[in-house]
Amino acid sequence: MPKEGGEEGAAVEWETVNRASALWTRPRTEISDAEYTEFYKHVAHDHSDPLAWSHNKVEGKLEYTSLLYVPGRAPFDLYHRDAPKGLKLYVQRVFVMDQAEQFLPLYLRFIKGVVDSNDLSLNVSREILHWPPTSPSSTPRSGRNSARY
């Protein structure tokens, strides 16, 4: 915001309020462990460090980037089937949906993270997102990648 109390015509100095960026769009080699940990705390709303993370860029029939985290401790609602899922869906780096349940199987609902795809359209409705023709091909792959941890 411009600083007040200056003379008219003086140079305006701007201050950046939000320094957050789409971490998953940067190459893995440029991101430090501290940045991954800080991003997890922001995405998962958790103050503890993650146990592990996986940063993947998948190209094929469906192109997407995923940044998945395994929490450092089990969530208190781990055994509740209706507990909120931890993935956020972005399309072309625009937030579309929270608690996206179609990308991971039910037994991996404790995993937190983001999935960003450039192939889905921005004006896709939430009902269509439940099972689009391209989503089932990405569902097992995300689950398989995260099940390694």
Concatenating the DSSP letter of every residue in 73-123 gives S--TTTT-TTSPPEEEEEETTEEEEES--SSS-GGGTT-EEEEEESSS-TT
When pLDDT is averaged across residues 4-13 and rounded to a whole number, the result is 69
Q: Domain 24-147 belongs to what topology?
A: Ribosomal Protein S5; domain 2 (3.30.230)
Of the two residues 66 and 96, the one the predictor is more confident about is 66
Helix/strand/coil for 133 = coil
Mean pLDDT over 135-149 rounds to 53
In the predicted model, what is the mean pLDDT of the chain?
A: 77
Q: What pLDDT score does 129 carry?
A: 54
Q: State the average pLDDT over residues 104-123.
A: 82
Percent of the chain with pLDDT over 70: 68
Domain ranges in the chain are 24-147
Q: What is the pLDDT of residue 72?
A: 87
Burial, 101: exposed, middle or buried (Cβ in 10 Å; 0-12, 13-18, 19+)? middle
pLDDT at 145: 61
Tell me, what DSSP letter sits at residue 26?
S
Structure tokens at 40: 């997890």
